[in-house]
Structure 1
């Protein structure tokens, strides 16, 4: 069970750090487009990473609640030798 959880956590971390994501809300997208149109020195490089970072927190919390719910409702089975 611990190996499966470790594998899921590692795969989740790998997917969120390796794959590029274009996660922008409408307001953020309009701000970036306006800043690019005006050619300001407004740095928007970390905007998507910040949005993806904020998006992962609810998923981690839901996963933790689901994990503890599963552990509480399913009793441990005795080991078979």
Structure 2
């Protein structure tokens, strides 16, 4: 139990310092004066990351409804 708690806290603290950009994209975008391109890249990465989670959640919900509906 204690090992699970330590692992959980470590993984939460590890994600506090994450960035959405890879090192190469970050180096190119930091050299730019306005940060609009960097914000656009970050939004695109978040959008691409969210789509698979939404699809899996939709499929899981469909399976849940299929198995938990009352059969007439």
Question: Normalising by the residue count of structure 1, what TM-score does the alignment of the two structures yield?
Answer: 0.49
Q: 1:40 Cα shift?
A: 4.5
Residue of structure 2 in register with 1:50 after alignment? 44
Alpha-carbon shift at residue 31 of structure 1 (Å): 2.4
The answer for the alignment partner of 2:64 in structure 1 is 70
Separation in 2, partners of 1:69, 1:52: 26
The unaligned stretches of length 5 or more in structure 1 are 1-20
Alpha-carbon separation, structure 2, partners of 1:63 and 1:57? 10
Q: Which has the higher contact order (CA 8 A, sep 6+)?
A: 1
Matched, 1:30 2:24: yes
**Structure (1 or 2) with the greater helix fraction:** 2
Shift of 1:33: 1.3
> Structure 2: any 5+ residue segments left out of the alignment?
1-17
